[in-house]
Amino acid sequence: MSILNILRYPDPRLHKKAKPVTVFDENLQKLIADMAETMYDAPGVGLAASQVDVHEQLVVIDTSETNDQLQVFINPEITWASAEKKVYDEGCLSVPGVYDGVERPAEVKVKALDANGNPFEIHADGLLAVCIQHEMDHLLGKVFVEYLSPLKRNRIKTKMIKEEREIARKEANRR
């Protein structure tokens, strides 16, 4: 297993739509394992393949306190969303250090395939519902900051670009 590089907003690759997974082989199993390791290392509760520059419909999630309940969603599809909405403070591994309120349906039903290609359905609420919707947005090429006002989004974009330059400068000085 290995830690993968997580794309940072406003990287244009984060806006690429993911394609359905069609092959369930050892490469997919390795990607799932690497994504899980990357998510736990970050640390985070969810990671979409799009965030690691693999544009396939694959999401890993673990909202447990103990990091031992990994859930894999392949080709996920929301089949129902509650009319009731809730605002949750969301963060993102692609937008480190930024948290803001996003309104989403409070509950969702999702159908997907597991790591072996077996279909399943899940009814989710609370953090899991938020996480599923957030990660599925990545598969559509959408980052959570796009729900925020243009002013907030531009401030975040400027901050992220500045941080990226600082990281690049420090790495260049190390060489």
Residues contacting 66, CB < 8 A, separation 6+? none
Q: Is 26 known to be catalytic?
A: no
| CB distance 36 to 51 below 8 Å | no
Whole-angstrom Cα distance, residue 36 to residue 172? Answer: 30
Q: Is 123 annotated as a binding residue?
A: no
Q: Is 138 annotated as a binding residue?
A: yes
Partners of 54 in the beta sheet? none
From 56, 90, 107, 135, the catalytic residue: 135
Q: Is 134 annotated as a binding residue?
A: yes
Could you tell me which of 18, 82, 25 has the C-alpha nearest to residue 47? 18
Active site (catalytic) residues = 135
Binding residues for Fe cation, as ranges, are: 92, 134, 138
Q: Report the binding-site residues.
A: 92, 134, 138
